[in-house]
């Protein structure tokens, strides 16, 4: 009889498969950052997330490591490229940078969406180029009681979508005595606690915007107007707010110098190469995932989060489940003439 395998471990044969890993381009990114530094005011830092990454609380600790090496500054310039994440993490990032620098400039040459837009709101000045855009910050969330999609994963529900369903229902049904309550029907498909959580999260989003803008704005009416427009005036969460519209909102937006924009695009390409998914297939039901999702970097140091785990497809549940997760934060520096990668313990 064959020896039973321990649960959660891969068969020995799979360990002989050569695991693909993403490239580390520390020297290349440092050269570009050195060129960028000559074109900006104050120390330059970069904050980049892949499509699989997001703005999260651990990024605060990673940024603190870079800022601690710099010390207090009069001016700080931050390159931001992200599709969003946690708005509360954005507030913490802004608070941290404001403790280290009197003035903050955010350079957003590409997508600076959702929670990343919140992060940009904390800057005195936002530099935007031809490919730049911010987005709305209206709330969507994955609740434990959210509906499931065809792969049995939780669906992100948007507060704006729920509000529009209710409004359309009221406009269509009218005000007759036999009118069915909109929420009564909606509860058949969406749990009441999910709707309650969305309303609470929407209030939180407004509060976060007000708090972040308050770090450099003193006009309360202006803060309220910008916060409400970003939370409820756009028909789509990913609506691209270009530099022209961002100025109309009341934000201090300036045009990005073309030479600086080209350097930032080059830096983004290097990060994109580092952030490519390196998937090693074992068989049709098992594969290994290796990917760098979040990168923060300054002169002489790079901190990044690397996802490294196995995935197994459970047919009976119709979903992929992670196994053997050794994902971790790492720090790259040059020591004794060579690049040294070491684990950066955040938690």
Kindly state whether residue 17 falls inside one of the protein's structural domains.
Answer: no
Predicted pLDDT of residue 99: 95
Judge if 186 and 56 occupy the same domain. no
Q: Which of 198, 222, 247 is the last residue of a domain?
A: 198
Judge if 187 and 265 occupy the same domain. no
Kindly state whether residue 241 falls inside one of the protein's structural domains.
Answer: yes
Kindly state whether residue 1 falls inside one of the protein's structural domains.
Answer: no
Lowest mean pLDDT among 165-169, 170-174, 183-187, 257-261: 170-174
Judge if 100 and 238 occupy the same domain. yes
Q: Give Cα 128 distance to the centre of its chain.
A: 18
Residue-range definition of the domain harbouring residue 183:
141-198
Judge if 59 and 163 occupy the same domain. no
Judge if 131 and 146 occupy the same domain. no
Residue 147: count of CB within 10 angstroms of its CB:
13
Between helix 26-37 and helix 258-274 the angle, nearest 10°, is 160
Predicted confidence band of residue 266 (pLDDT cuts 50, 70, 90) = very high
97-141: pLDDT as tens digits: 999 999 999 999 999 999 999 999 999 999 999 999 999 987 655
The per-type count for the chain, helices as H runs and strands as E runs, is 11, 15
Flag whether pLDDT at 175 surpasses 90.
Answer: no
Kindly state whether residue 323 falls inside one of the protein's structural domains.
Answer: yes
Judge if 71 and 146 occupy the same domain. no
Helices (H), the chain: 12-15, 26-37, 57-70, 87-100, 115-121, 159-173, 182-186, 192-213, 220-232, 243-249, 258-274
Beta bridge partners of 112: 82, 134
Judge if 130 and 152 occupy the same domain. no
Judge if 274 and 193 occupy the same domain. no
How much is the mean pLDDT over the chain? Answer: 87
Kindly state whether residue 132 falls inside one of the protein's structural domains.
Answer: yes
Predicted pLDDT of residue 221: 96
Predicted pLDDT of residue 58: 95
Question: What count of Cα atoms within 13 Å lies in the side-chain half-sphere of residue 215?
Answer: 28
Contact predicate 133/253, CB 8 Å: no
Judge if 279 and 292 occupy the same domain. yes
Predicted confidence band of residue 189 (pLDDT cuts 50, 70, 90) = confident
Kindly state whether residue 248 falls inside one of the protein's structural domains.
Answer: yes
- What is the tally of structural domains in the chain? 2
Residue 298: count of CB within 10 angstroms of its CB:
22
Judge if 127 and 179 occupy the same domain. no
Predicted pLDDT of residue 234: 83
Kindly state whether residue 220 falls inside one of the protein's structural domains.
Answer: no
Q: Which of 198, 224, 246 is the last residue of a domain?
A: 198
Tokens of 336: 């004794």
Judge if 153 and 26 occupy the same domain. no
Judge if 160 and 294 occupy the same domain. no
Q: Give Cα 72 distance to the centre of its chain.
A: 26
Kindly state whether residue 12 falls inside one of the protein's structural domains.
Answer: no
Predicted pLDDT of residue 70: 93
CATH number for the domain including 264?
3.90.226
Predicted confidence band of residue 12 (pLDDT cuts 50, 70, 90) = very low
């Amino acid at each position: 009889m064959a020896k039973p395998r321990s649960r959660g471990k891969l068969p020995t044969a799979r360990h002989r498969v050569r695991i693909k890993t993403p490239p580390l381009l520390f020297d290349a990114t440092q050269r570009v950052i050195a060129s960028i530094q000559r074109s900006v005011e104050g120390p330059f830092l970069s904050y980049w997330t892949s499509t699989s990454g997001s703005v999260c609380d651990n990024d605060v600790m990673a940024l603190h490591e870079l800022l601690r090496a710099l010390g207090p500054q009069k001016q700080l310039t931050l390159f931001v490229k992200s599709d969003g994440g946690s708005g509360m993490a954005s507030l913490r990032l802004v608070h941290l940078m404001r403790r280290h620098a009197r003035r903050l400039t955010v350079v957003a040459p590409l997508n600076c969406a959702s929670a990343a837009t919140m992060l940009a709101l904390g800057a005195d000045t936002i530099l935007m180029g031809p490919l730049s855009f911010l987005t709305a910050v209206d709330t969507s969330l994955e609740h434990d009681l959210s509906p499931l999609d065809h792969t049995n994963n939780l669906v992100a529900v948007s507060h704006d979508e729920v509000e529009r369903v209710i409004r359309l229902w009221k406009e269509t049904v009218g005000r007759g005595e036999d009118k069915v309550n909109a929420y009564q029907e909606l509860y058949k498909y969406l749990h009441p606690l999910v709707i309650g959580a969305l309303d609470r999260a929407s209030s939180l989003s407004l509060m976060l915007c007000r708090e972040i803008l308050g770090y450099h704005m003193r006009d309360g009416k202006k803060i309220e107007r910008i916060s409400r427009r970003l939370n409820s005036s756009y028909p789509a969460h990913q609506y691209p707010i270009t530099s022209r519209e961002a100025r109309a909102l009341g934000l201090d937006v300036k045009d990005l110098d073309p030479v600086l924009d080209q350097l930032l695009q080059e830096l983004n390409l290097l990060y994109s190469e580092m952030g490519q998914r390196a998937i090693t297939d074992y068989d049709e039901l098992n594969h290994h995932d290796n990917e760098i999702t979040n990168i923060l970097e300054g002169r002489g140091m790079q901190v990044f989060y690397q996802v490294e785990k196995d995935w197994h497809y459970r047919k009976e549940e119709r979903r992929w489940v992670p196994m053997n997760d050794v994902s971790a934060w790492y720090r790259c520096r040059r020591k004794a003439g060579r690049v040294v990668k070491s684990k950066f313990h955040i938690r």
